[in-house]
Amino acid sequence: MDTSNQTSTPTVLLIDDEQMNRLLVGDYLRDSGYAVLEAESAAEGLHIFDNVRPDIVITDLRMPGGDGNQVVTRLQAIAPDTPVIIISGTANLEEALGTLREGACDFISKPVRKMDRIKQAIDLAMKKARLNRENHCARQALEDEIQQRTHELRDLNAQLKHALESTVNALGVIVAQKDPYTAGHSERVARIAMALGYAMGMPRHRIEALRVAGNLHDIGKVSVPGEILNKAGRLTPEEFEQVKAHPETGFEILKDIPFQGPVAEIVLQHHERYDGKGYPRGLKQDEILLEARILSVADIYEALTSDRPYRQALSHEEAMAHIIREAGKTLCPLCACAFTAANRSGVLSAIARNEHSQYM
């Protein structure tokens, strides 16, 4: 354990092969209040450093059996926060600059005519080292705080996601209680819409929005009387107007729920048509969200291949022919192409058989 920085008397390791230099500099440092350790070679100095861990190192540059550059390089590797001061009378300017580039904090030329130059260099280096330690501690504390907050946010997001999923499930139950047909229909529409999203290379968060919107696209039907939803014959114009209100009702129900993605807007637009003849706004082509255009294709296909109170289901081939026929007319051609691609991959048949897949 490094305890050198916990004492009130800083410890200086003085490395110099010339005894007279060690005597002069060492006596001056002791008189200035420093504890001084001495070594006459780089190897001896590094051995002392490993055992004592002084606060600062002062080393000559050229010595038998190793030089000051070795000391700087070694300490940069094992103790980069320990300041190293070079004192040398043989180095030229380029060598002096080289030691500073390698990590020495100061360079003092021999002979040292003003000994207080050494103390100034030590005090400045110690101050810099202390500030570096404080900055490191502050940075570490900040990183720890950020990490803690990140964990807390992840936990909170997980709780919010769970709560949101529970809300979605509860809304689905409401729809199922009002119209049992709608519940199974909505789940299949969601799975088909996700399959189209994957076929179009959409990112995961947008596919998730498709899943939620698909499951909830008919939530607005809770405001439609049950006798209209389950009517065996053709609806009257007045009854159809009540049914047409369900996208706007669904939007009002969902608009304030913090879904990941524009779920409420997708639900509002899922009966818009590519040619502008849909409802409730009469949007056309790219005015309609891509997710809503995808949901429209999935909704129409699933409705055509399901039995309704007023008609029997069409075959898969008949429904596919309808999708292809309407591409560029009432349906987005890009989404229709994705639909045929999903069909070739076997995804649609798997959904029709209610097999488990990634499109859940």
Catalytic residues: 221
Note whether 28 and 115 are within 8 A (CB). Answer: yes
- Backbone φ and ψ for 85, nearest 5 degrees, come out as -110, 130
CA-closest candidate to residue 70, choices 56, 51, 57, 53: 57
- Strand intervals (E) in the chain: 11-15, 35-39, 56-59, 84-88, 106-109
Number of other CB atoms surrounding residue 218 within 10 Å: 26
From residue 156, alpha-carbon distances to 114, 140, 153, 162, 228 in Å are 63, 24, 5, 10, 42
| Pairwise CA distance, residues 256 & 280, whole Å | 20
Q: What is the DSSP letter of 312?
A: P
Please list, in sequence order, all residues whose beta carbon lies within 8 angstroms of the beta carbon of residue 42, skipping any fewer than 6 positions away: 15, 59, 63, 65, 66, 67, 68, 70, 71
- Backbone φ and ψ for 331, nearest 5 degrees, come out as -115, 150
